[in-house]
Amino acid sequence: MRRQTSEIRKVKKVRKMENKTVIKSGISFGSVLAITISWSVNHSIIWAIIHGCLSWLYVIYYALIR
């Protein structure tokens, strides 16, 4: 019985870690995508930094406008 509860705890820990990894990857990918799009359109480092902070908001805006 104790083995089963410890195994369940391990599985829950792994699932929590997987969720955090996906969220971190998604945020960084959105920022990189926004910076890349911004640079290709504006050729400005300042705008690329600003759009990188806005991340997915800028990507969605770009997709809707262009």
**Whole-number Cα distances in Å, 10 to 21, 23, 24, 54:** 17, 20, 21, 36
- Structural domain harbouring 52: 2-65
Q: Domain count of the chain? A: 1
The pLDDT of residue 27: 63
The structure's pTM equals: 0.60
pLDDT at 28 (0 to 100) = 82
At residue 66 the predicted structure's pLDDT band, cuts being 50, 70 and 90, is confident
pLDDT tens digits, 2-60: 556 666 666 666 666 655 655 555 668 899 999 999 999 999 999 999 999 999 999 99
